[in-house]
Amino acid sequence: MQTASDRDPTQAPLEHLEEWEDFLKTRYPENAVAPAAQAFQAVDPNKQQEQFRNYEADARPTVREFYRLNHRHQTYDFVQGKKREFLGLSRRRMSVWEAIEFLNTLVDDSDPDTDLSQLEHLLQTAEQIRRDGHPRWFILAGLVHDLGKILCLFGEPQWAVVGDTFPVGCAYSDKIVFHGFFADNPDSRNADYQTRLGVYAAGCGLDQVHLSWGHDEYIYHVMKDYLPEEALYMLRFHSFYPAHREGDYTWLMNDKDKKMFDWVRAFNPYDLYTKSHQRPDVKALRPFYEDLISEYLPATLKW
């Protein structure tokens, strides 16, 4: 069991993974209009820069250090290496529920109340989607969207599991928070990677684009043969805040991506704003979810 007291601050600056998500909530407060939704309104770029400076200044030192490591180490080559290392899915065979229980061994020993935190986040996300009357595959996407965080249990550092994702191999959007830390990324000195398109063709589609490595891409690959495409977009891009919240990187998208991002945006509030409401009754809910899982997924999956 990995606990906070085992933390190596060079690999795990956050006391727990939720610190990153708490930071996202301060950056994207509930009920605020997403900049992506204001794409055609005049947004004062100076004002936006100002806001980013505030988020950065107000961030906890642990969050700041987390972003420093993430932006320093997520290079194009690093992403290729992690894809080779993990996307063969040859580590384990587990059912979804076994993966949920495995993820739940990632506990935070600084707070005795959070021993169910990962499972609770997944159930709270799924339950709110269910309450809002969305299709069953949408509920299932809520249930499984963060299972890629088991990468932490395979020994991966936090900065290679969570964090807002961004394309590698092309210029970094100035809307990515802690943009200044990219100065220490070796790719920032590679001219081929620092044009707007970088190694990509305009409108090539996000399937051709390598995003910084983390739990989104991994869970997408685990699930990609089984879920509808809308759900797969939610899984694969839910941390791609520079695109789904900031409206950036549209020049890499094709028409299908642009359409499908409506689903990614529809998913985001369930991920970000359903925490800390009522604690779910795991025992009572499990039969519904076992049924839902078996409707779409085989009894065991490759991880």
- The binding site for Fe ion (CB under 5 A) comprises 146, 271
**67/200 with CB nearer Fe ion:** 67
211 φ/ψ angles, rounded to the nearest 5 degrees: -90, 160
Beta carbons of 124 and 275 less than 8 angstroms apart = yes
Least gap, CB of 289 to Fe ion (angstroms): 16
Provide, rounded to whole angstroms, the least separation between the CB of residue 238 and Fe ion.
5
Both structure tokens of 173 = 């959007």
Contact assessment for residue 2 and residue 152, using Cβ atoms and an 8 Å cutoff = yes
- 95, 301 Cβ separation under 8 angstroms: yes
Burial class (CB in 10 A: 0-12, 13-18, 19+), 144: buried
CA 254 to mean position of chain CA atoms: 21
As given in the structure block, the two tokens for residue 70 are 């993430």
For residue 211, the SS3 value is: strand
Sign of CA dihedral 55, 128, 235, 109: positive
Taking the complex as a whole, the smallest distance from the CB of residue 70 to Fe ion amounts, in Å, to: 14
The smaller minimum CB distance to Fe ion, of residues 125 and 185, is found at: 125
CB nearer Fe ion, residue 146 or residue 257: 146
Q: Return the SS3 of 202.
A: coil
The least CB distance from residue 57 to Fe ion, in Å, is 25
Name the minimum Å distance from CB 131 to Fe ion. Answer: 17
- For Fe ion, the closer of residues 144 and 168 by Cβ is 144
Q: Which of residues 198 and 214 has its CB atom nearest to Fe ion in the complex?
A: 214
